[in-house]
């Protein structure tokens, strides 16, 4: 009698766990299927996650910021020219608190010698768009930094639970699934070169619109707060923080903004490079070095900027030349091959010949 | 009892009220019927059925209703 | 906390765990705490209103009960000493006292409701009159928070008080139990309107854990969420488009909107009630059913016995019967009979009380003329069909249609159309607009919208229409299956893999096809407003 009861109990326990297993497994698969893969289009969404795949995360230079870093600097150039081991932790419309928490996240793996932050995102004190939040936050691995970043970023309509279980956010995508959602179900494809998003095509900058008149030019309190925290985080880890403003002509960089950043940099004794004012030094030519009429650099522009930046990093901050390290040499040889392959593919795609590069 | 059955048949000539046990539960009598019924009972028996006594148990069969009428007549 | 919010689901998980982890005598106090937390989360000021209603209801009921107890004891002790007349006189005196407590309690409860719900409606009508008379300054509106669910708990309070007065229930001695009866969170938002005599049987009883019962409750909730999220909320944007601009969307669009709204209201309201009853069921508490497959009714009269049942029964038991059997009504009946003949006299109590009930039902649904006209429209149709009853009967006998399936289908279809048309008053901003919209169905002649793709311009995609059609069909099939008894029991009798697959499929349907999250407004349950 007792035995029968026991077998019954065991059986119902087995049934329960088996059912739970089926539920969890199918839900996990469904979630994998439904989340956007960012592999074929809107690849910007895949940038943040790619960092974790890196074999050697002991980078000496880390870039954080929005498209003005991940489209404007090429770590491959920095390696080729200077042997600088660097990575760009950029993402589309990355807000400053997201940059801060991405930096915090990066410090879990290693401490770089230099961190370069692009100040364009100082203009925002509130997240503007849920889709951009998603692209920056989803790729992060779970950590306290990710939780804090989500909480700092959520717009009013967003829910934290939607980040924990993305299926809740993307449940309606079943009607728009494509072959890519199956192809990249478990494994994404690399879309960047150490965080650099490559474009080789050219669209000269003409008739760049000026800035609209703003009611208030002072940066928000929240943006300042996170900039301050970023400064302190770098100090605490003995990291040299460099502020930059990329040479993007648009969105418009107001002189009033420039003044505030200059004041701050002077007060904190931080280097600040405004590439908008350094076009002669860098050699940026807006008729050939941008692919979208001045918003972002193309490959040619990015390589010029990297060349210039590398020189400063080496000469002023003594960032070491790590060529000769067998592991790094091997890694970068692979990176370079992928870089050149994509370059080639893009030239073909846009119907250009390599000779047209830069010209 | 005879008079009560007469009143009921006047409301629904097609129903045999002597054998029905679920006048309310089977929705043979609706609330409007019940109000007409109560008015007629007051006419014939001079008994006032108030809202507190309008529950299905009292109206499900002619016999139950008759018992209610008798009880109320006694109380007065 | 909306029923469809993550917060609410989290709240339920914590509550369910505590409910079965705590000793069973702590179960109902836990529910009281949870209910006040739930209500306070909506707006702390709401608690004041419900506390006021709870206090007066509890107090008045206790006084009535004490008086009734005293009367019984007194009469028992003095049975020999008092003559029958003296006893009657004593009873009448005591009854008058109890009546005063009843009226006092009702006035405070209903007065509370009336002030928050109707003050601005009265002001706007007064302003209309004033401006028609060309008199001075319009009165300014007042800002009063209309506490969520006040209509529902006030009605429960009134029912409880009247039941105590009638002696059908004994007044509760513990004020906290009364507080829970009025504030029990699943039904606080949109009903059903419970009776104390029924709910108290399970509300305060200890409920040991039962996997079967919890599963049944969750299954019912899931079905409710399916109707609410997959059907109702998905339809809502189109309804807002269609009724938001009645000039642009006239004619055939009105017909589309009418059917959309009828389906939406059904899915929204019955879904919400399924969730409510399911939550209670999972905790061992039985709430009254509020719907009985209403759209299968064969007449409007039958519809009102099957739709929002707890409300119509409330009006029947606490308004219709008391008014129609009151001594005033009796005098009026006699008067009319002597002056206008027995045919008229016979009709007086029914007609007058029905009129009052439908006026009250309309006003209860909302402080606007739309609802009043809607209520009186129901009244008119009910009375006309009552008068036509003999004609119908003759027709049925003459053509032998009674009981024929096609005739039943015809009757169901006719009632459905009637009910849908009446619901139009819900949709438009004012009475005139509703009539204009309805009239345009017959005059606009824009039937081409059904095939020229215009329906895709209402905010619903082809996928949406597909999901809606499939899920509405499922609801219809389940309703048909329910005629043979509980569908949940039928599923339960299947082997485990089958029922697991069925319920999991329903869960996935809600998860994947539900209209929730970014891009969908967290739409309130429609009946929250009442």
Per-chain mean pLDDT for chain A: 90
Residue C521 has pLDDT above 60, yes or no: no
Residue C10 lies in a domain: no
Q: Mutual orientation of helices C175-183 and C27-42 as an angle, nearest 10°?
A: 50
Q: Are C98 and C64 in contact (CB under 8 A)?
A: yes
Q: What percent of chain C has pLDDT over 70?
A: 97
pLDDT digits (tens, 9 = 90+) for C90-140: 989 999 999 999 999 999 989 888 888 888 888 888 888 877 777 667 777
- Which range has the worst mean pLDDT, A212-226, C7-21, C341-355? C341-355
Q: Are C29 and C206 in contact (CB under 8 A)?
A: no
pLDDT digits (tens, 9 = 90+) for C229-251: 999 999 988 888 888 888 888 88
Residues of B in contact with C388 (CB under 8 A): none
Ranges of beta strands (E only) in chain A are: 61-65, 86-90, 114-118, 240-245, 272-274
Task: Count the neighbouring beta carbons within 10 Å of the beta carbon of residue C495.
Answer: 7
Q: Which residue in chain C is spatially nearest to B32 when comparing CA positions? A: C350
Sequence-distant contacts of C132-137: CB under 8 A, at least 24 apart = none
The per-residue pLDDT for C375 is: 92
The per-residue pLDDT for C527 is: 43
Residue C235 lies in a domain: yes
Claim to verify: residue C31 and residue C171 sit in the same structural domain = yes
Average of per-residue pLDDT across C381-404: 83
Domain membership of residue C522 as a residue range: 211-287+432-530
Q: Residues A319-339, buried b or exposed e (16+ Cβ, 10 A)?
A: beebeeeeebeebbeebeeeb
Query: Which of helix, strand or coil describes residue B20?
Result: coil
Whether there are 3 or more C-beta pairs closer than 8 Å between B and A is no
Residue C5 lies in a domain: no
Residue C273 lies in a domain: yes
Q: Mutual orientation of helices C496-513 and A2-34 as an angle, nearest 10°?
A: 30
- Which range has the worst mean pLDDT, A77-91, A109-123, A306-320, C397-411? C397-411
- Which range has the worst mean pLDDT, A295-299, B15-19, C252-256? B15-19
Q: Residues C222-233, buried b or exposed e (16+ Cβ, 10 A)?
A: bbbbbbbbbbbb
The per-residue pLDDT for A357 is: 46
Look at residues B50, B59, B46 and name the one whose alpha carbon lies nearest to residue C165: B50
Superfamily of domain A44-162+188-207+216-356: SGNH hydrolase (3.40.50.1110)
Claim to verify: residue C203 and residue C221 sit in the same structural domain = no
Average of per-residue pLDDT across C216-231: 96
Domain ranges for chain A: 44-162+188-207+216-356
Cβ separation C511–A171 shorter than 8 A: yes
Between A359 and C185, the more confident residue is C185
Residue C1 lies in a domain: no
Of the pLDDT bands very low, low, confident and very high (cuts 50, 70, 90), residue A189 is confident
Residue C345 lies in a domain: yes
Q: Are A85 and A60 in contact (CB under 8 A)?
A: yes
Q: Are C252 and C438 in contact (CB under 8 A)?
A: no
Q: Tell me the sheet residues that pair with A273.
A: A244
- The tally of domains found in chain B comes to 1
What is the torsional sign of CA C164, C170, C173, C175?
negative
Subunits with at least 3 CB pairs below 8 A relative to chain B? C
Claim to verify: residue C122 and residue C168 sit in the same structural domain = yes
Claim to verify: residue C267 and residue C354 sit in the same structural domain = no
Residue C8 lies in a domain: no
Q: Counting one residue from B and one from C, how many pairs have CB atoms under 8 Å apart?
A: 47
Residue C9 lies in a domain: no
Q: Tell me the sheet residues that pair with A245.
A: A274
H-type alpha helices, chain B: 2-11, 31-45, 56-59, 62-75
Whether there are 3 or more C-beta pairs closer than 8 Å between B and C is yes
Residue C269 has pLDDT above 70, yes or no: yes
pLDDT digits (tens, 9 = 90+) for B15-73: 888 888 888 888 788 888 888 888 888 888 888 888 888 988 888 888 889 999 998 88
Residue among C197, C305, C321, C336 with most chain B CBs within 10 A, to mutate: C321
From chain C, which residues contact A within 8 Å (Cβ)? Answer: 6, 461, 463, 496, 500, 504, 508, 511-514, 516-519
| Cβ of residue B31 closer than 8 Å to a chain C Cβ | yes
* DSSP code for A112: -
H-type alpha helices, A111-190: 130-137, 144-153, 161-164, 166-170, 179-183
CATH of the domain at B69: 1.10.1200.10
Cβ separation A162–C504 shorter than 8 A: no
Q: How far is CA A159 from CA A131, C311, C516, in A?
A: 13, 36, 12
Alpha-carbon distance A339 to A77, whole Å? Answer: 10
Claim to verify: residue C370 and residue C225 sit in the same structural domain = no
Query: Which of helix, strand or coil describes residue C473?
Result: helix
Residue C147 has pLDDT above 90, yes or no: no
- The tally of domains found in chain C comes to 3
Cβ separation C517–A169 shorter than 8 A: yes
Q: Are C438 and C254 in contact (CB under 8 A)?
A: yes
Q: Mutual orientation of helices C150-166 and C196-203 as an angle, nearest 10°?
A: 100
pLDDT digits (tens, 9 = 90+) for A5-35: 778 888 889 999 999 999 999 999 999 999 9
Query: Which of helix, strand or coil describes residue A274?
Result: strand
The per-residue pLDDT for A1 is: 57
Residue C526 has pLDDT above 60, yes or no: no
Of the pLDDT bands very low, low, confident and very high (cuts 50, 70, 90), residue A156 is confident
pLDDT digits (tens, 9 = 90+) for C367-388: 888 899 999 999 999 999 888 8
CB neighbour class for C208 (10 Å; exposed up to 12, middle 13-18, buried from 19): exposed
Q: What percent of chain A has pLDDT over 90?
A: 61
Residue A245 has pLDDT above 90, yes or no: yes
Q: Single out the residue in C189, C208, C227 at which a domain terminates.
A: C208
Subunits with at least 3 CB pairs below 8 A relative to chain C? A, B
């Amino acid at each position: 009698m007792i035995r029968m009861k026991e077998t019954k109990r065991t059986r119902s326990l087995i049934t329960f766990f088996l059912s739970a297993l089926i539920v969890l497994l199918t839900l996990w698969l469904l979630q994998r299927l439904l989340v956007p893969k960012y592999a074929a289009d809107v690849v910007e969404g895949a940038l943040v996650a790619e960092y974790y795949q890196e074999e050697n995360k002991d980078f000496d230079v880390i870039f954080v910021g929005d498209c003005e870093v991940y489209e404007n600097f090429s770590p491959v150039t920095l390696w080729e020219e200077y042997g600088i081991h660097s990575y760009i932790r950029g993402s589309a419309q990355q807000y400053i608190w997201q940059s801060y928490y991405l930096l915090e996240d990066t410090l879990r793996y290693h401490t770089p010698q230099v961190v370069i932050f692009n100040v364009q995102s100082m203009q925002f004190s509130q997240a503007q768009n849920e889709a951009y939040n998603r692209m920056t936050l989803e790729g992060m691995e779970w950590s306290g930094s990710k939780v804090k970043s989500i909480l700092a970023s959520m717009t009013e309509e967003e829910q934290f639970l939607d980040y924990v279980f993305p299926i809740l956010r993307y449940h309606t995508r079943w009607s728009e699934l494509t072959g890519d959602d199956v192809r990249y179900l478990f494994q994404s494809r690399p879309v960047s070169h150490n965080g650099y998003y490559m474009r080789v095509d050219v669209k000269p900058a003409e008739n760049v619109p000026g800035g609209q008149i703003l009611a208030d030019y002072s940066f928000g309190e929240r943006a300042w707060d996170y900039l301050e925290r970023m400064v302190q985080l770098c100090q605490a880890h003995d990291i040299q923080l460099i502020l930059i403003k990329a040479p993007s002509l648009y969105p418009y960089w107001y002189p009033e903004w420039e003044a505030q950043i200059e004041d701050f940099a002077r007060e904190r004794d931080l280097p600040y490079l405004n590439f908008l004012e350094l076009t002669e030094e860098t050699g940026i030519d807006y008729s050939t070095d941008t692919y979208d009429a001045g918003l972002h650099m193309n490959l040619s522009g990015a390589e010029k900027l990297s060349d210039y930046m590398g020189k400063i990093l080496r000469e002023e901050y003594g960032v070491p030349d790590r060529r000769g390290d067998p592991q790094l040499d091997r890694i970068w040889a692979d990176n370079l091959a992928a870089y050149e392959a994509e370059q080639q593919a893009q030239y073909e795609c846009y119907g250009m010949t390599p000779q047209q590069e830069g010209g | 009892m005879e008079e009560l059955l007469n009143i009921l048949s006047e409301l629904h000539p097609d129903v045999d009220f002597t054998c029905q046990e679920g006048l309310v539960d089977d929705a043979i009598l609706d609330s409007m019927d019940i109000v007409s019924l109560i008015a007629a009972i007051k006419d014939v028996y001079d008994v006032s059925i108030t809202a507190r006594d309008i529950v299905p148990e009292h109206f499900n069969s002619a016999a139950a209703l008759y018992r209610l009428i008798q009880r109320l007549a006694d109380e007065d | 906390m909306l029923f469809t919010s993550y917060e609410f689901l989290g709240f339920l998980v914590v509550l369910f765990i505590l409910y079965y982890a705590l000793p069973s005598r702590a179960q109902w106090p836990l529910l009281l705490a949870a209910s006040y937390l739930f209500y306070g989360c909506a707006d702390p000021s709401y608690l004041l209103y419900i506390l006021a209603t709870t206090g007066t209801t509890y107090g008045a009921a206790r006084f009535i009960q004490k008086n009734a107890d005293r009367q019984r004891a007194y009469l028992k002790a003095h049975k020999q000493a008092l003559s029958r007349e003296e006893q009657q006189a004593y009873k009448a005196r005591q009854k008058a006292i109890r009546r005063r407590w009843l009226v006092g309690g009702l006035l405070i409860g209903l007065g509370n409701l009336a002030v928050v719900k109707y003050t601005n409606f009265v002001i706007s009508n007064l302003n209309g009159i004033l401006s028609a008379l060309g008199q001075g300054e319009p009165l300014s509106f007042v800002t009063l928070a209309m506490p969520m669910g006040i209509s529902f708990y006030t009605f429960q309070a009134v029912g409880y008080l009247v039941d105590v007065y009638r002696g059908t229930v004994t007044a509760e001695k513990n004020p906290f139990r009364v507080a829970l009866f009025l504030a029990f969170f699943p039904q606080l938002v949109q009903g059903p309107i419970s009776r104390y005599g029924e709910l108290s049987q399970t509300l305060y009883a200890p409920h040991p854990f039962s996997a079967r019962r919890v599963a049944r409750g969750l299954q019912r909730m899931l079905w409710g969420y399916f109707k609410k999220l997959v059907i109702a909320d998905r339809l809502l944007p189109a309804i807002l488009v269609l009724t938001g601009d009645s000039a642009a969307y006239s004619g055939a669009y009105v017909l589309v909107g009418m059917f959309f709204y009828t389906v939406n209201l059904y899915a929204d309201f019955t879904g919400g009630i399924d969730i409510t009853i399911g939550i209670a069921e999972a905790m061992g508490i039985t709430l009254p059913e509020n719907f009985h497959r209403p759209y299968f009714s064969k007449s409007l009269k039958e519809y009102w016995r099957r739709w929002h049942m707890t409300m119509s029964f409330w009006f029947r038991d606490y308004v219709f019967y008391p008014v129609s059997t009151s001594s005033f009504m009796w005098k009026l009946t006699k008067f009319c009979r002597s002056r206008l003949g027995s045919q008229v006299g016979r009709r007086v109590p029914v007609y007058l009380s029905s009129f009052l009930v439908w006026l009250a039902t309309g006003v209860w649904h909302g402080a606007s003329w739309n609802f009043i006209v809607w209520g009186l429209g129901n009244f008119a149709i009910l009375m006309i069909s009552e008068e036509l009853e003999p004609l119908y009967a003759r027709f049925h006998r003459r053509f032998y249609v009674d009981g024929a399936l096609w005739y039943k289908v015809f009757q169901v279809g006719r009632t459905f159309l009637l009910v849908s048309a009446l619901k139009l008053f819900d949709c438009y901003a004012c009475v005139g607009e509703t009539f204009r919209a309805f009239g345009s169905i017959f005059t606009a002649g824009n039937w081409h919208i059904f095939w020229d793709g215009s329906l895709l311009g209402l905010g619903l995609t082809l996928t949406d229409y597909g999901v809606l059609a499939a899920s509405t069909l499922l609801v219809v099939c389940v309703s048909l299956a329910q005629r043979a008894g509980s569908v949940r029991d039928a599923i339960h009798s299947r082997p485990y893999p089958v029922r697991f697959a069925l319920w999991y499929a329903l869960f996935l349907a809600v998860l994947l096809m539900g209209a929730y999250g970014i891009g969908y407004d967290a739409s309130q349950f429609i009946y929250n407003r009442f």
